[in-house]
Structure 1
Amino acid sequence: MDFGQHVLSAGKAVLDMMEREWQPLSAGELDFRLDQAMEEILESELVGKIETQPSPAVYIQLLQSKASPAPQVSPTAAAFSGLTEEGRTTEDQEETADSEAVQCISELLQRSKSRDRLAGRAHLSLSHTVLLSLSLLSEQVSYRSVSRRFQLEKGNIHRIFFSFCERISSLKEEQIRWPLGEEAAEALFPFSSLVEIKDQDEGHGLPHVLGVLGHTRIPIRLPIEKHDPERVGPAEKRMKEGQSDSWLNLELVCSHRGQFLHCRVSKSSDVDRGRTLSDRLKQNHELMPLGSFLVARAGYPLTAQILTPYTGEKGPKQELFNQTLEEHCRILDQAVSSLKARFKRLTYLDIGNYDRAGTVVLTACVLHNVFLQMGHEVEGESETANLLTAQNEDGEEDEEGVQRRNEVAELLLMNAHSGGA
Structure 2
Amino acid sequence: MAQMDLRQHVLSAGRAVLDMMEREWQPLSAGELELRLDQVVEDILESDLVGKVETQPSSDVYVQLLQSKPSPGPQAFPTAAALTGPTEEGATASEADSEAVRCISELLQSSKSMARLAGRARLSLSHTVLLSLSLLSERVSYRSVSRRFQLEKGNIHRIFFSFCERISNLKEEQIRWPVGEEAAEALFPFSSLVVKKEQDEGRCFPQVLGVLGHTQIPIRLPVGKHALESVGPAEKRKKKKAHPDCWLNLELVCSCRGQFLHCRVSKGSDVDRGRRLRDRLKQNPELMPPGSCLVARAGYPLTAQILTPYTQSNGPDQELFNQTLEEHCQILDQAVSSLKVRFKRLTYLDIGNYDRARTVVYTACVLHNVFMQMGQELHGESETESTVTVQEEEQEEEEEGVQRRDVVADLLLTNGNSGRT
Q: TM-score range by the shorter chain?
A: 0.7 to 0.9
Shift of 1:113: 2.0
Contact preservation (8 Å) 1:259, 1:369: yes
- Mark the CA change 1:352 to 1:48 in structure 2 (over 3 Å): closer, same or farther: farther
* Aligned position for 1:20: none
* Aligned position for 2:317: 317
Secondary structure at 1:210's aligned position in 2? Answer: strand
Secondary structure at 2:238's aligned position in 1? Answer: helix
Shift of 1:36: 3.7
The 2-side partners of 1:175 and 1:120 are apart by 25
* Aligned position for 1:39: 32
The 1-side partners of 2:37 and 2:203 are apart by 68
* Aligned position for 1:414: 414
Shift of 1:410: 1.2
Secondary structure at 1:262's aligned position in 2? Answer: strand
- Mark the CA change 1:33 to 1:416 in structure 2 (over 3 Å): closer, same or farther: closer
* Aligned position for 2:75: 66
* Aligned position for 2:339: 339
The 2-side partners of 1:411 and 1:318 are apart by 11
* Aligned position for 1:276: 276
Aligned AA (1:166):
E
Aligned AA (2:99):
E
Shift of 1:47: 9.3
Aligned AA (1:83):
T
* Aligned position for 2:257: 257
* Aligned position for 2:133: 134
* Aligned position for 2:81: 77
Q: How many corresponding residue pairs?
A: 369
- Mark the CA change 1:392 to 1:324 in structure 2 (over 3 Å): closer, same or farther: farther
- Mark the CA change 1:330 to 1:44 in structure 2 (over 3 Å): closer, same or farther: farther
The 2-side partners of 1:111 and 1:33 are apart by 27
Secondary structure at 2:75's aligned position in 1? Answer: helix
Aligned AA (1:66):
Q
Shift of 1:265: 0.2
Secondary structure at 2:245's aligned position in 1? Answer: coil
- Mark the CA change 1:152 to 1:183 in structure 2 (over 3 Å): closer, same or farther: same
Shift of 1:340: 0.4
The 2-side partners of 1:272 and 1:260 are apart by 19
The 2-side partners of 1:278 and 1:220 are apart by 28
Secondary structure at 2:277's aligned position in 1? Answer: helix
Aligned AA (2:164):
C
Aligned AA (1:168):
I
Shift of 1:392: 4.9
Contact preservation (8 Å) 1:106, 1:130: yes
- Mark the CA change 1:199 to 1:222 in structure 2 (over 3 Å): closer, same or farther: same
Residues 192-207 of structure 1 correspond to what in structure 2 (within 5 A)?
Answer: 192-196=191-195, 198-199=196-197, 205-207=204-206
The 1-side partners of 2:204 and 2:111 are apart by 41
Contact preservation (8 Å) 1:109, 1:167: yes
Contact preservation (8 Å) 1:253, 1:263: yes
Contact preservation (8 Å) 1:217, 1:386: no
Aligned AA (2:262):
H
Percent of matched pairs sharing the same residue: 72
* Aligned position for 1:188: 187
Secondary structure at 1:66's aligned position in 2? Answer: coil
Post-superposition CA distance 1:360-409 (Å, at most 9, x none): 00000000000000000001111114477724544211111101111111
Contact preservation (8 Å) 1:214, 1:387: no
Runs in 1 of length 4+ with deviation above 3 angstroms? 32-38, 43-50, 62-65, 198-206, 229-234, 385-389, 391-394
Shift of 1:125: 1.0
Shift of 1:238: 2.2
Aligned AA (1:81):
G
The 1-side partners of 2:40 and 2:353 are apart by 34
Shift of 1:264: 0.2
* Aligned position for 1:103: 102
* Aligned position for 2:58: none
Calculate the TM-score normalised by the size of structure 1. 0.81
Query: Are positions 1:222 and 2:221 aligned together?
Result: yes
Instruction: Point out where structure 2 has 5 or more consecutive residues left out of the alignment.
Output: 1-24, 47-70
- Mark the CA change 1:387 to 1:345 in structure 2 (over 3 Å): closer, same or farther: farther
- Mark the CA change 1:401 to 1:389 in structure 2 (over 3 Å): closer, same or farther: farther
Shift of 1:311: 1.1
Contact preservation (8 Å) 2:167, 2:366: yes
Shift of 1:332: 0.2
Instruction: Point out where structure 1 has 5 or more consecutive residues left out of the alignment.
Output: 1-31, 53-61, 69-73
- Mark the CA change 1:138 to 1:33 in structure 2 (over 3 Å): closer, same or farther: closer
Contact preservation (8 Å) 1:120, 1:156: yes
The 1-side partners of 2:374 and 2:40 are apart by 28
* Aligned position for 1:379: 379
The 2-side partners of 1:404 and 1:296 are apart by 15
Post-superposition CA distance 1:110-136 (Å, at most 9, x none): 111224110112532111100100011
Secondary structure at 1:216's aligned position in 2? Answer: strand
* Aligned position for 1:267: 267
Shift of 1:98: 1.0
The 2-side partners of 1:373 and 1:291 are apart by 27
Secondary structure at 1:245's aligned position in 2? Answer: helix
Aligned AA (2:359):
T
Shift of 1:413: 1.2
* Aligned position for 1:235: 234
Contact preservation (8 Å) 2:298, 2:387: no
- Mark the CA change 1:313 to 1:179 in structure 2 (over 3 Å): closer, same or farther: closer
The 2-side partners of 1:76 and 1:48 are apart by 30
Aligned AA (2:179):
L
